[in-house]
Amino acid sequence: MSYAAFDPFSAGPTNLGANIPLDGAFAPQSGPSVGSMTPTPWLAPERLTISFAPDGTSISGYGSQLFTAFRDWMTPNQVEANILKAFQQWARVASINAGYLADGGQQFGVNALTQGDPRFGDIRVGAIPMHDDVFAVSVAKHPSLSGSWGGEIIFNTNKSYPNVNEFYAVALHEIGHVLGLRHSAHPQSVMNDRALNTQLIGQDINRLRALYGVRRLDTADVGNKNNDSPDKATRIENPGSLHGTIPLIVYGDIAASTDRDYFELSPLSNYEGPIKFELVSSGISLLRAKLSIINENGQLLHEISGTGIRGNRLAFTIPQAVDGMTYYVRIEAADQSLYAQGSYALKVTYEDAVTADPQLIERVLVGNYWQLKQSDVREIFQNPQTYYFNQELMLNDSIATADKLKTSLPFSTNQHFQVIASLSYQADIDFYEIKSPQQLGPDSAITLAVQSIGAGPLVTTLQLFDEQQQLLPTITRLNGNGELVLQAAGIDANTTYFVAVGADQVGDNFDEGNYQLTVRFDQPLATVDSLADGSLSNATAAARRQYHALYVAETQMFHLALTASPSTTRELAQVWVTIYNRQAKPVFRALTTPGQTRTAKSVVLRPGSYTIQVSLADNTLDPISINYALDGTGITDPVGPELLDPSKKPFKKAGPGDPNYVYPGNILSPNTYITVNGNPGTTPQNQMQQPPFVDPNAWYWYPQWLTPTVPFM
């Protein structure tokens, strides 16, 4: 069979044999938190992006070779085509999209937003040499992973693929992981790690839909409504007071190959210049679309169909608008192929009048704004520096006046809630009422996630109340870079709860802005390890610092959270944690304030000895004493030279067949990392600096403040 003739949707499974796993999948291996890193759904699955790292991009010290490693039997275009085809097979059956994005070549794990960074895709694909016992590895999304880690797929260049069929099957499997699926024992499942399957089965689809719901992203097609004909067309709002100076943007989704969406554009009075219609699926989804422009008399003015597999940009300009004429736009799939489903944005511009910034237009087209009302989209262009979404003008500032949220479109009743809103004035606080599902599992938890979006770097707080309006305890999983994720256990079924979103520090430069709140009841409570704890004071220079040793036996990706006791105020004290390697280079740093838990980006640490320094920075002469706790989760990472050169691992197994590593002090442990109180003496103490007293909310936005060497401000 030639590669060109291969049909991945009709091929059967390929048996890998009993001893060859399909992937590493960044699965925990005998670490302290085995099984704790349950993959979770993406916060904005409707606007995922995917990119392919250029050859030479740094991945754990190696240069990616995605396009050269497989060139003997697959061209670079075929590499991309097979991976995009694999993603689309998943996307077409659930409420997810992946828009193609050119990759800027930044190293994997660089400081970045967890989703929506314009430099590279949320899902990044690369290839490096690894041990030959895996085809590929992937990093699944998890609420405890921060920075750009989460969503990586890395192929093994030391593994030979006899044909495109096997490469496609591996891609399909790894994409399942980054979307949140674990392995399956079903022999025909694409998530079976002992077979190469190329067709989703019912189990695969149902598991994906349990995370993301069925494909239903078009607000015009809710309930008994639709816009499938001209008489039901969605009206494109066209305020005459704006005189055509801003673009008119609406969003939609082609949920099936037979779906059609109609939009109606009423005339702009006294305008007879050119009108441009542009349909954009590129950067949003892989939809291969068709655009048609029709006048009110039913005359087809233009029709254009897209090609390719990266999504489309289709445009048509009416040279001279007819005063008083209504125009209709019809959007549908260009063909009946795999790419007949996907989301899109439609932009209409009065070419002689539009003055909006082109870069801002592009961000609004492809960004996560699809749920906004048309009036909110216009607000972005009218006030590009200070726009606020869904301003409620003190209407939901208490539990008594809380907004009652409805279940998000694609999901089962009360499983998932989402809203885009804003803190638009000083001391603004927004309350929301939600109800838990009729049934909950024994280990069910509620997950609250808020993300700053758009204008202004907002720093938020979240609170959870029961139906008696009592504040409930929560656990902070992520708190940095504009994202806050909390979880709470002990949730009751069919019960009302209230969520409050407020500013972390009223009166600073980070207390106003837009946010997206997501509430889920379908995720288990994550667990983390207690790595270090102690006390700090300003009584002496020595009392300001505490040291702990971190010994890493296998390459680990760590997510760390630092908590400080509420024994003083944030105006007087801060607690820092810094991890130094043997060369006295800081490889990780995080800052928190009294009474808070804060995080920084996840970090990959190679085998070796590290020094954890916890420091007090204060702004007072009065006595201060504060307790701290450093919690974290490590994931064994099969990427890196250690798999190819075992001599670089300083901590060996105790003997053949013995699961224990031998750590300094003759400590035996099966865990792939341990911490020990006290300075390990591997980093010269005179090279470890005392951190300064800084604005904690400015430091919170760590991509703006950190470089790869993690300097002080």
Per the listing, tokens 């002090």 go with 665
Q: Are residues 430 and 450 in the same domain?
A: yes
Rounded CA separation 679/142 (Å) = 31
Which amino acid makes up residue 538?
N
User: What separation in angstroms does the CA of 518 have from each of 138, 434, 526, 561?
Assistant: 25, 11, 17, 21
Per-residue pLDDT band for 705 (boundaries 50, 70, 90) equals very low
Number of domains in the chain: 4
Give the CATH number of the domain where residue 135 resides.
Answer: 3.40.390.10
Q: Is residue 474 part of a domain?
A: yes
Which amino acid makes up residue 469?
Q
Cβ distance 259 to 227 under 8 Å? no
Q: Is residue 392 part of a domain?
A: no
Q: Is residue 382 part of a domain?
A: no
Which amino acid makes up residue 418?
Q
Residue 261, both tokens: 């969406």
Instruction: Answer yes or no: is pLDDT of 428 > 60.
Output: yes
What integer pLDDT is reported at residue 230 of this predicted model? 93
Q: Are residues 335 and 241 in the same domain?
A: yes
**Domain boundary residue, one of 212, 233, 261:** 212
**Domain boundary residue, one of 212, 233, 263:** 212
Is the four-CA dihedral 343, 283, 706, 25 of positive or negative sign? Answer: positive
What strands lie across the sheet with 403-404, from one edge to the other?
A: 403-404, 429-435, 496-503, 460-465
Per-residue pLDDT band for 338 (boundaries 50, 70, 90) equals very high
- 619-670 pLDDT tens trace: 888 999 999 999 988 765 443 333 444 456 788 888 898 999 999 999 999 9
Q: Are residues 225 and 202 in the same domain?
A: no
Q: Are residues 576 and 678 in the same domain?
A: yes
Q: Is residue 641 part of a domain?
A: yes
Q: Are residues 119 and 238 in the same domain?
A: no
Per-residue pLDDT band for 35 (boundaries 50, 70, 90) equals very low
Q: Is residue 86 part of a domain?
A: yes
Q: Is residue 540 part of a domain?
A: no
Rounded CA separation 613/626 (Å) = 15
Provide mean pLDDT across the span 46-72: 92
Instruction: Answer yes or no: is pLDDT of 704 > 60.
Output: no
Q: Is residue 537 part of a domain?
A: no
611 — phi, psi (to 5°)? -110, 125
Residue 594, both tokens: 């009294």
Q: Are residues 520 and 584 in the same domain?
A: no
Q: Are residues 250 and 286 in the same domain?
A: yes
What integer pLDDT is reported at residue 161 of this predicted model? 80
**Domain boundary residue, one of 157, 187, 212:** 212
Q: Are residues 554 and 675 in the same domain?
A: yes
What integer pLDDT is reported at residue 455 of this predicted model? 58
Cβ distance 534 to 588 under 8 Å? no
Give the CATH number of the domain where residue 481 resides.
Answer: 2.60.120.380
Provide mean pLDDT across the span 101-109: 92
What integer pLDDT is reported at residue 648 of this predicted model? 60
Q: Are residues 206 and 226 in the same domain?
A: no
Dump the DSSP string for 137-169. EE----TT--TT-SSEEEEETTS--SSHHHHHH
* Structural domain of 49: 14-212
Rounded CA separation 159/657 (Å) = 26
Instruction: Answer yes or no: is pLDDT of 495 > 80.
Output: yes
Q: Are residues 160 and 272 in the same domain?
A: no
Q: What pTM did the predictor assign? A: 0.82
What is the average pLDDT score of the chain?
85
Provide mean pLDDT across the span 198-208: 95
Provide mean pLDDT across the span 176-192: 93
Q: Are residues 690 and 552 in the same domain?
A: yes
Instruction: Answer yes or no: is pLDDT of 22 > 50.
Output: no
255: left (phi over 0), alpha (psi -120 to 50) or beta: alpha
Q: Are residues 72 and 154 in the same domain?
A: yes
Q: Is residue 529 part of a domain?
A: no
Per-residue pLDDT band for 509 (boundaries 50, 70, 90) equals confident
